[in-house]
Protein backbone atom coordinates (compact mmCIF):
# COMPACT_ATOMS: atom_id res chain seq x y z
CA UNK A 1 0.00 0.00 0.00
CA UNK A 2 1.38 3.41 -0.97
CA UNK A 3 0.46 6.10 1.51
CA UNK A 4 1.20 9.82 1.27
CA UNK A 5 0.90 11.82 4.48
CA UNK A 6 0.60 15.60 4.06
CA UNK A 7 1.93 17.70 6.96
CA UNK A 8 4.70 16.59 9.33
CA UNK A 9 3.24 17.86 12.58
CA UNK A 10 2.18 15.80 15.58
CA UNK A 11 -0.61 13.93 13.78
CA UNK A 12 1.28 13.52 10.50
CA UNK A 13 4.49 12.14 11.96
CA UNK A 14 2.54 9.72 14.12
CA UNK A 15 0.37 8.68 11.15
CA UNK A 16 3.41 8.15 8.91
CA UNK A 17 5.17 6.07 11.55
CA UNK A 18 2.05 3.98 12.24
CA UNK A 19 1.42 3.34 8.52
CA UNK A 20 5.05 2.42 7.84
CA UNK A 21 5.20 0.08 10.81
CA UNK A 22 2.13 -1.64 9.35
CA UNK A 23 4.03 -2.36 6.14
CA UNK A 24 2.91 0.57 4.02
CA UNK A 25 5.31 2.44 1.79
CA UNK A 26 5.02 5.96 3.15
CA UNK A 27 5.99 9.42 1.93
CA UNK A 28 5.60 12.29 4.42
CA UNK A 29 5.40 15.71 2.75
CA UNK A 30 6.05 18.89 4.72
CA UNK A 31 6.10 22.42 3.37
CA UNK A 32 8.55 23.70 6.00
CA UNK A 33 12.22 22.94 5.77
CA UNK A 34 11.99 20.86 8.93
CA UNK A 35 9.44 18.63 10.61
CA UNK A 36 7.33 19.46 13.65
CA UNK A 37 7.79 23.23 13.73
CA UNK A 38 4.77 23.70 16.00
CA UNK A 39 6.00 20.99 18.36
CA UNK A 40 9.28 22.87 18.69
CA UNK A 41 7.57 26.03 19.93
CA UNK A 42 4.86 24.34 21.96
CA UNK A 43 4.52 24.64 25.72
CA UNK A 44 7.01 27.51 25.77
CA UNK A 45 9.48 25.22 23.91
CA UNK A 46 8.95 22.54 26.58
CA UNK A 47 6.13 20.66 24.75
CA UNK A 48 3.26 19.65 26.99
CA UNK A 49 2.77 16.38 25.15
CA UNK A 50 -0.27 14.98 26.95
CA UNK A 51 -2.26 15.23 30.17
CA UNK A 52 -2.12 12.99 33.22
CA UNK A 53 -5.54 11.39 32.85
CA UNK A 54 -7.11 8.52 30.94
CA UNK A 55 -8.76 8.38 27.52
CA UNK A 56 -12.10 9.36 28.99
CA UNK A 57 -10.58 12.38 30.78
CA UNK A 58 -9.15 13.61 27.47
CA UNK A 59 -12.35 12.96 25.51
CA UNK A 60 -14.51 14.76 28.09
CA UNK A 61 -12.49 17.93 27.55
CA UNK A 62 -13.36 18.06 23.85
CA UNK A 63 -17.05 19.00 24.21
CA UNK A 64 -18.96 18.16 21.05
CA UNK A 65 -16.05 16.04 19.73
CA UNK A 66 -16.00 13.81 22.81
CA UNK A 67 -17.75 10.78 21.29
CA UNK A 68 -15.91 11.14 18.01
CA UNK A 69 -12.49 11.03 19.67
CA UNK A 70 -13.27 8.26 22.14
CA UNK A 71 -12.30 5.22 19.98
CA UNK A 72 -8.91 6.57 18.89
CA UNK A 73 -8.11 7.83 22.39
CA UNK A 74 -9.15 4.48 23.84
CA UNK A 75 -6.75 2.71 21.45
CA UNK A 76 -3.88 5.13 22.17
CA UNK A 77 -4.50 6.82 25.54
CA UNK A 78 -2.19 9.22 27.42
CA UNK A 79 -0.28 6.38 29.08
CA UNK A 80 0.46 4.88 25.65
CA UNK A 81 1.79 8.26 24.49
CA UNK A 82 4.02 8.43 27.56
CA UNK A 83 5.23 4.85 26.94
CA UNK A 84 5.82 5.65 23.27
CA UNK A 85 8.15 8.53 24.12
CA UNK A 86 9.77 6.76 27.06
CA UNK A 87 10.67 3.88 24.75
CA UNK A 88 12.45 6.45 22.57
CA UNK A 89 14.46 7.51 25.62
CA UNK A 90 12.33 10.59 26.43
CA UNK A 91 11.57 10.40 30.14
CA UNK A 92 8.47 12.37 31.09
CA UNK A 93 7.22 14.09 34.23
CA UNK A 94 3.80 15.17 35.45
CA UNK A 95 3.51 18.72 36.81
CA UNK A 96 1.08 19.77 39.53
CA UNK A 97 -1.39 20.96 36.87
CA UNK A 98 -1.50 17.45 35.37
CA UNK A 99 0.50 18.57 32.33
CA UNK A 100 3.03 16.02 31.06
CA UNK A 101 6.40 17.32 29.80
CA UNK A 102 9.70 15.72 28.86
CA UNK A 103 11.98 15.70 31.92
CA UNK A 104 14.51 17.56 29.78
CA UNK A 105 11.96 20.41 29.26
CA UNK A 106 13.03 20.38 25.62
CA UNK A 107 10.39 20.18 22.91
CA UNK A 108 13.08 19.37 20.38
CA UNK A 109 13.51 15.95 22.04
CA UNK A 110 9.83 15.18 21.39
CA UNK A 111 10.09 16.30 17.76
CA UNK A 112 13.33 14.36 17.24
CA UNK A 113 11.83 11.19 18.69
CA UNK A 114 8.84 11.34 16.34
CA UNK A 115 11.08 12.12 13.39
CA UNK A 116 13.41 9.25 14.24
CA UNK A 117 10.55 6.77 14.74
CA UNK A 118 9.26 7.70 11.28
CA UNK A 119 12.63 7.43 9.54
CA UNK A 120 13.54 4.17 11.29
CA UNK A 121 10.27 2.58 10.22
CA UNK A 122 11.03 3.44 6.59
CA UNK A 123 9.13 6.70 6.04
CA UNK A 124 10.53 8.88 3.27
CA UNK A 125 10.34 12.43 4.58
CA UNK A 126 10.32 15.26 2.04
CA UNK A 127 10.65 18.70 3.59
CA UNK A 128 10.28 21.95 1.65
CA UNK A 129 7.49 20.17 -0.21
CA UNK A 130 4.24 22.16 -0.15
CA UNK A 131 1.15 20.37 -1.42
CA UNK A 132 -1.14 22.50 -3.55
CA UNK A 133 -4.08 20.16 -4.19
CA UNK A 134 -5.25 16.56 -3.92
CA UNK A 135 -7.68 14.81 -6.22
CA UNK A 136 -9.03 11.31 -6.70
CA UNK A 137 -8.14 9.47 -9.89
CA UNK A 138 -10.10 6.24 -10.12
CA UNK A 139 -8.94 4.14 -7.19
CA UNK A 140 -5.82 6.25 -6.70
CA UNK A 141 -5.11 9.71 -5.43
CA UNK A 142 -3.02 12.40 -7.04
CA UNK A 143 -1.14 14.66 -4.67
CA UNK A 144 0.02 17.79 -6.45
CA UNK A 145 3.00 19.59 -5.02
CA UNK A 146 4.69 22.78 -6.13
CA UNK A 147 7.04 20.69 -8.28
CA UNK A 148 5.40 17.41 -9.19
CA UNK A 149 2.42 15.13 -8.81
CA UNK A 150 2.55 11.94 -6.77
CA UNK A 151 0.18 9.04 -7.44
CA UNK A 152 -0.71 7.05 -4.35
CA UNK A 153 -3.24 4.50 -3.09
CA UNK A 154 -4.10 6.45 0.01
CA UNK A 155 -3.61 9.92 1.35
CA UNK A 156 -3.67 11.13 4.93
CA UNK A 157 -4.20 14.86 5.36
CA UNK A 158 -2.73 16.24 8.59
CA UNK A 159 -2.09 19.86 7.69
CA UNK A 160 -3.42 21.21 11.00
CA UNK A 161 -5.53 24.34 11.37
CA UNK A 162 -4.72 27.92 10.49
CA UNK A 163 -3.45 29.33 13.75
CA UNK A 164 0.14 30.55 14.10
CA UNK A 165 0.45 30.64 10.30
CA UNK A 166 4.15 31.33 10.64
CA UNK A 167 4.49 27.62 11.54
CA UNK A 168 3.26 26.61 8.08
CA UNK A 169 -0.32 26.11 9.18
CA UNK A 170 -2.09 28.39 6.75
CA UNK A 171 -5.28 26.35 6.38
CA UNK A 172 -4.43 25.12 2.87
CA UNK A 173 -6.46 21.92 3.19
CA UNK A 174 -9.82 23.60 3.87
CA UNK A 175 -10.05 24.43 0.15
CA UNK A 176 -9.07 20.88 -0.87
CA UNK A 177 -11.65 19.43 1.50
CA UNK A 178 -14.38 21.77 0.28
CA UNK A 179 -13.57 20.84 -3.31
CA UNK A 180 -13.98 17.19 -2.32
CA UNK A 181 -17.42 17.88 -0.86
CA UNK A 182 -16.48 18.00 2.82
CA UNK A 183 -18.31 20.54 4.96
CA UNK A 184 -16.12 22.82 7.07
CA UNK A 185 -17.45 24.06 10.40
CA UNK A 186 -16.68 27.78 10.72
CA UNK A 187 -13.03 28.12 11.70
CA UNK A 188 -12.19 30.53 14.51
CA UNK A 189 -9.35 31.20 16.89
CA UNK A 190 -9.32 29.31 20.20
CA UNK A 191 -6.88 29.26 23.10
CA UNK A 192 -6.27 32.85 22.14
CA UNK A 193 -5.60 35.97 24.23
CA UNK A 194 -8.51 38.41 24.44
CA UNK A 195 -8.43 42.10 23.57
CA UNK A 196 -10.28 44.50 25.86
CA UNK A 197 -10.22 45.95 29.35
CA UNK A 198 -11.25 49.21 31.00
CA UNK A 199 -8.87 52.21 31.07
CA UNK A 200 -8.12 51.64 34.77
CA UNK A 201 -6.87 48.13 33.93
CA UNK A 202 -3.98 49.60 31.89
CA UNK A 203 -2.03 49.85 35.13
CA UNK A 204 -2.43 46.12 35.68
CA UNK A 205 -0.36 45.05 32.66
CA UNK A 206 1.71 41.97 33.57
CA UNK A 207 -0.27 41.23 36.73
CA UNK A 208 -1.31 37.62 37.37
CA UNK A 209 -4.20 36.45 39.54
CA UNK A 210 -3.10 32.90 40.28
CA UNK A 211 -6.51 31.57 41.17
CA UNK A 212 -9.51 33.03 39.38
CA UNK A 213 -12.77 31.65 38.06
CA UNK A 214 -13.54 33.02 34.63
CA UNK A 215 -17.02 32.56 33.11
CA UNK A 216 -18.57 33.35 29.77
CA UNK A 217 -22.23 34.33 30.01
CA UNK A 218 -24.72 35.09 27.28
CA UNK A 219 -25.82 38.73 27.31
CA UNK A 220 -29.45 37.81 26.84
CA UNK A 221 -31.54 34.82 27.84
CA UNK A 222 -30.62 32.40 30.60
CA UNK A 223 -27.63 33.46 32.64
CA UNK A 224 -26.22 29.95 32.66
CA UNK A 225 -22.47 30.09 31.93
CA UNK A 226 -21.47 28.90 28.46
CA UNK A 227 -18.01 28.11 29.81
CA UNK A 228 -16.13 28.31 33.09
CA UNK A 229 -12.50 27.86 33.88
CA UNK A 230 -10.61 28.16 37.15
CA UNK A 231 -6.94 29.07 36.86
CA UNK A 232 -4.47 31.85 36.29
CA UNK A 233 -5.61 35.13 34.75
CA UNK A 234 -3.06 37.50 33.25
CA UNK A 235 -3.81 41.19 32.66
CA UNK A 236 -1.86 42.44 29.64
CA UNK A 237 -1.36 45.75 27.82
CA UNK A 238 -4.02 44.67 25.29
CA UNK A 239 -6.46 42.77 27.51
CA UNK A 240 -6.46 39.32 29.08
CA UNK A 241 -4.44 36.15 28.77
CA UNK A 242 -3.33 33.24 30.94
CA UNK A 243 -4.89 29.77 31.01
CA UNK A 244 -8.30 30.82 32.36
CA UNK A 245 -8.92 33.50 29.70
CA UNK A 246 -7.41 31.45 26.88
CA UNK A 247 -9.41 28.32 27.73
CA UNK A 248 -12.76 30.12 27.49
CA UNK A 249 -11.78 32.14 24.41
CA UNK A 250 -13.07 29.51 21.97
CA UNK A 251 -16.55 29.80 23.46
CA UNK A 252 -16.38 33.55 22.98
CA UNK A 253 -15.30 33.29 19.34
CA UNK A 254 -18.15 30.81 18.80
CA UNK A 255 -20.62 33.64 19.45
CA UNK A 256 -21.83 35.60 16.43
CA UNK A 257 -20.45 38.75 18.01
CA UNK A 258 -18.45 39.60 21.12
CA UNK A 259 -21.40 41.80 22.06
CA UNK A 260 -23.48 38.65 22.58
CA UNK A 261 -21.29 37.37 25.41
CA UNK A 262 -19.86 38.69 28.67
CA UNK A 263 -16.64 37.69 30.38
CA UNK A 264 -16.95 37.67 34.15
CA UNK A 265 -14.28 36.90 36.72
CA UNK A 266 -14.55 35.75 40.29
CA UNK A 267 -11.27 37.04 41.73
CA UNK A 268 -11.59 35.09 44.99
CA UNK A 269 -13.10 31.72 44.08
CA UNK A 270 -11.89 30.08 47.28
CA UNK A 271 -14.40 32.14 49.31
CA UNK A 272 -18.15 32.12 48.90
CA UNK A 273 -19.99 35.42 48.83
CA UNK A 274 -21.24 34.75 52.37
CA UNK A 275 -17.71 34.12 53.63
CA UNK A 276 -16.52 37.35 52.02
CA UNK A 277 -19.39 39.29 53.55
CA UNK A 278 -18.66 37.77 56.95
CA UNK A 279 -15.01 38.83 56.68
CA UNK A 280 -15.97 42.35 55.58
CA UNK A 281 -18.44 42.68 58.45
CA UNK A 282 -15.86 41.37 60.90
CA UNK A 283 -13.38 44.00 59.64
CA UNK A 284 -15.97 46.75 59.89
CA UNK A 285 -15.91 46.25 63.61
CA UNK A 286 -12.12 46.69 63.52
CA UNK A 287 -12.34 50.45 63.02
CA UNK A 288 -9.18 51.86 61.44
CA UNK A 289 -8.21 49.33 58.76
CA UNK A 290 -8.90 50.44 55.22
CA UNK A 291 -10.64 48.77 52.32
CA UNK A 292 -7.39 48.40 50.29
CA UNK A 293 -5.71 46.52 53.13
CA UNK A 294 -8.65 44.14 53.31
CA UNK A 295 -8.40 43.52 49.55
CA UNK A 296 -4.66 42.95 49.80
CA UNK A 297 -5.43 39.90 51.93
CA UNK A 298 -6.61 38.16 48.75
CA UNK A 299 -5.33 40.13 45.79
CA UNK A 300 -2.02 41.52 44.49
CA UNK A 301 -1.55 45.12 45.67
CA UNK A 302 -1.88 46.70 42.24
CA UNK A 303 -5.26 45.06 41.70
CA UNK A 304 -6.41 45.85 45.25
CA UNK A 305 -5.48 49.50 44.71
CA UNK A 306 -7.13 49.57 41.28
CA UNK A 307 -10.42 48.24 42.62
CA UNK A 308 -10.29 50.67 45.53
CA UNK A 309 -9.71 53.59 43.15
CA UNK A 310 -12.61 52.41 41.03
CA UNK A 311 -14.89 52.46 44.03
CA UNK A 312 -14.08 56.12 44.72
CA UNK A 313 -11.96 56.32 47.86
CA UNK A 314 -10.06 54.12 50.23
CA UNK A 315 -12.55 54.35 53.09
CA UNK A 316 -12.04 52.89 56.51
CA UNK A 317 -13.82 49.60 56.97
CA UNK A 318 -15.91 51.13 59.75
CA UNK A 319 -17.24 53.65 57.23
CA UNK A 320 -18.14 51.13 54.56
CA UNK A 321 -21.72 51.84 53.51
CA UNK A 322 -24.15 49.12 52.52
CA UNK A 323 -24.03 50.32 48.93
CA UNK A 324 -20.22 50.31 48.80
CA UNK A 325 -20.17 46.87 50.39
CA UNK A 326 -22.38 45.57 47.59
CA UNK A 327 -20.21 47.20 44.93
CA UNK A 328 -17.14 45.68 46.54
CA UNK A 329 -18.64 42.19 46.50
CA UNK A 330 -19.71 42.68 42.87
CA UNK A 331 -16.17 43.65 41.93
CA UNK A 332 -14.60 40.72 43.71
CA UNK A 333 -17.05 37.98 42.77
CA UNK A 334 -18.31 39.05 39.32
CA UNK A 335 -16.14 41.70 37.80
CA UNK A 336 -16.90 42.28 34.13
CA UNK A 337 -13.87 42.09 31.89
CA UNK A 338 -14.84 44.00 28.74
CA UNK A 339 -13.78 42.13 25.59
CA UNK A 340 -13.90 43.52 22.06
CA UNK A 341 -11.98 40.84 20.17
CA UNK A 342 -9.10 38.38 20.18
CA UNK A 343 -5.51 38.40 18.96
CA UNK A 344 -6.75 36.30 16.05
CA UNK A 345 -5.31 33.25 14.35
CA UNK A 346 -1.85 34.84 14.57
CA UNK A 347 -1.78 34.19 18.31
CA UNK A 348 -4.30 31.36 18.71
CA UNK A 349 -2.85 28.09 19.96
CA UNK A 350 -5.54 26.12 18.15
CA UNK A 351 -8.15 26.49 15.46
CA UNK A 352 -11.69 25.62 16.46
CA UNK A 353 -13.96 24.39 13.68
CA UNK A 354 -12.70 22.43 10.67
CA UNK A 355 -13.72 19.32 8.76
CA UNK A 356 -17.13 18.23 10.00
CA UNK A 357 -16.91 15.12 12.14
CA UNK A 358 -19.98 13.29 10.87
CA UNK A 359 -18.26 12.95 7.49
CA UNK A 360 -15.28 11.08 8.96
CA UNK A 361 -15.14 7.58 10.45
CA UNK A 362 -13.99 7.96 14.09
CA UNK A 363 -12.22 4.57 14.13
CA UNK A 364 -10.24 4.85 10.89
CA UNK A 365 -10.39 8.60 10.20
CA UNK A 366 -11.30 7.72 6.64
CA UNK A 367 -13.57 10.15 4.85
CA UNK A 368 -17.12 8.89 4.56
CA UNK A 369 -17.27 10.64 1.18
CA UNK A 370 -14.07 9.30 -0.42
CA UNK A 371 -12.37 5.95 -0.06
CA UNK A 372 -8.66 6.21 0.51
CA UNK A 373 -8.80 9.73 1.98
CA UNK A 374 -7.94 10.02 5.68
CA UNK A 375 -8.16 13.20 7.76
CA UNK A 376 -6.61 13.57 11.23
CA UNK A 377 -5.39 16.12 13.76
CA UNK A 378 -6.42 19.72 14.12
CA UNK A 379 -7.75 19.97 10.55
CA UNK A 380 -10.83 18.25 11.97
CA UNK A 381 -13.46 20.12 13.97
CA UNK A 382 -11.76 19.36 17.30
CA UNK A 383 -10.19 21.71 19.82
CA UNK A 384 -9.31 20.97 23.41
CA UNK A 385 -8.20 23.06 26.40
CA UNK A 386 -4.68 23.96 27.42
CA UNK A 387 -2.87 21.09 29.12
CA UNK A 388 -1.61 18.63 26.49
CA UNK A 389 -5.08 17.68 25.26
CA UNK A 390 -4.49 18.89 21.72
CA UNK A 391 -1.29 16.94 21.15
CA UNK A 392 -2.91 13.87 22.66
CA UNK A 393 -5.81 14.11 20.18
CA UNK A 394 -3.36 14.68 17.31
CA UNK A 395 -1.28 11.64 18.27
CA UNK A 396 -4.30 9.35 18.75
CA UNK A 397 -6.09 10.40 15.58
CA UNK A 398 -2.89 10.32 13.53
CA UNK A 399 -2.05 6.84 14.72
CA UNK A 400 -5.52 5.50 13.98
CA UNK A 401 -5.44 7.03 10.49
CA UNK A 402 -1.98 5.59 9.81
CA UNK A 403 -2.91 2.07 10.83
CA UNK A 404 -6.15 2.16 8.85
CA UNK A 405 -4.52 3.62 5.75
CA UNK A 406 -1.91 0.84 5.76
CA UNK A 407 -4.43 -1.96 6.05
Ligand X SMILES: Cc1cc2nc3c(=O)[nH]c(=O)nc-3n(C[C@H](O)[C@H](O)[C@H](O)COP(=O)(O)OP(=O)(O)OC[C@H]3O[C@@H](n4cnc5c(N)ncnc54)[C@H](O)[C@@H]3O)c2cc1C
For ligand X, the binding residues (CB under 6 A) are: 6-12, 29-32, 37-38, 41-43, 47-48, 130-131, 158-160, 163-164, 168-169, 172, 349-350, 377-378, 388-391, 394
For residues 386 and 246, is the Cβ–Cβ distance under 8 A?
yes
Q: Residue 392 CB, nearest distance to ligand X (Å)?
A: 7
Give the nearest distance from C-beta 86 to ligand X in angstroms: 18
CA distances from 146 to 5, 133, 166, 180, 364 (A): 16, 9, 19, 20, 29
Q: Toward ligand X, which CB reaches closer, 267 or 382?
A: 382
Between 96 and 257, CB nearer to ligand X:
96
- The three-point CA angle 194-196-198 to 5° equals 145
Which is nearer to ligand X, 10 or 59 (by Cβ)? Answer: 10
Q: How far is CA 56 from the centre of its chain?
A: 18
Check: CB of residue 148 under 8 Å from CB of residue 134.
no
For the bound state, the minimum distance from the C-beta of residue 10 to ligand X, rounded and expressed in Å, comes to 4
- The 8 Å CB, 24+ separation contacts for 317-321 are 317/280, 317/283, 317/284, 317/286, 317/287, 317/289, 317/290, 317/291, 318/284, 318/285, 318/286, 318/287, 318/288, 320/280, 320/284, 320/291
Alpha-carbon distances of 367 from 356, 398, 405, rounded to whole Å: 10, 14, 11
- 146 versus 319: smaller Cβ distance to ligand X: 146
Residue 241 CB neighbour total at 10 angstroms: 20
Partners of 101 in the β-ladder: 93
Q: Which of 159, 175, 189 is nearest to 37 (CA)?
A: 159
CB-wise, 158 or 367, nearer to ligand X? Answer: 158
Q: How far is the CB of 99 from ligand X (least distance, A)?
A: 8
Q: Are 165 and 345 in contact (CB under 8 A)?
A: yes
* Residue closest to ligand X (Cβ): 9
User: How is the beta sheet containing 140-145 ordered, strand by strand?
Assistant: 131-137, 140-145, 149-152
Smallest gap from Cβ 396 to ligand X, in A, equals: 11
- Least distance from C-beta 164 to ligand X, angstroms? 4
Kind and range of the H or E run holding 57: helix 55-60
Q: Least distance (Å) from ligand X to the CB of residue 17? A: 13
Length of the chain: 407
Taking the complex as a whole, how short is the minimal distance between the CB of residue 307 and ligand X, in angstroms? 32
Query: Measured from the CB atom, is 163 or 212 closer to ligand X?
Result: 163
Q: How many helices (H) and strands (E) does the chain have?
A: 13, 20
**Closest CB to ligand X among residues 359, 390:** 390
Judged by beta carbon, residue 215 or residue 253, the one nearer ligand X is 253
3-state secondary structure of 213: strand
Q: How far apart are CA 52 and CA 58, in angstroms?
A: 9
Nearer to ligand X among residue 70 and residue 169 (C-beta): 169
CB of 355 to ligand X, least distance (A): 11
Amino acid sequence: MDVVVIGAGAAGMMAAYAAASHQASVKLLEKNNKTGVKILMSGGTRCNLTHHTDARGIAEAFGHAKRFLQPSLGAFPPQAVVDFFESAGIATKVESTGKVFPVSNRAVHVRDALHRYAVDSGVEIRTGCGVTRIRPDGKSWIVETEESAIVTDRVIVTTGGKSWPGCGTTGDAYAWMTELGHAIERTRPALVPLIGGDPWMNDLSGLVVDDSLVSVLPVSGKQKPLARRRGGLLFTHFGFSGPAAMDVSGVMTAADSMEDVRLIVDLIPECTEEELLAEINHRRGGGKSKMSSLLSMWLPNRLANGITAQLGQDVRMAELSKNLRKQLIDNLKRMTLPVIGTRGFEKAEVTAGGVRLDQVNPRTFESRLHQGLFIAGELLDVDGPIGGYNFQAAFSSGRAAGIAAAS
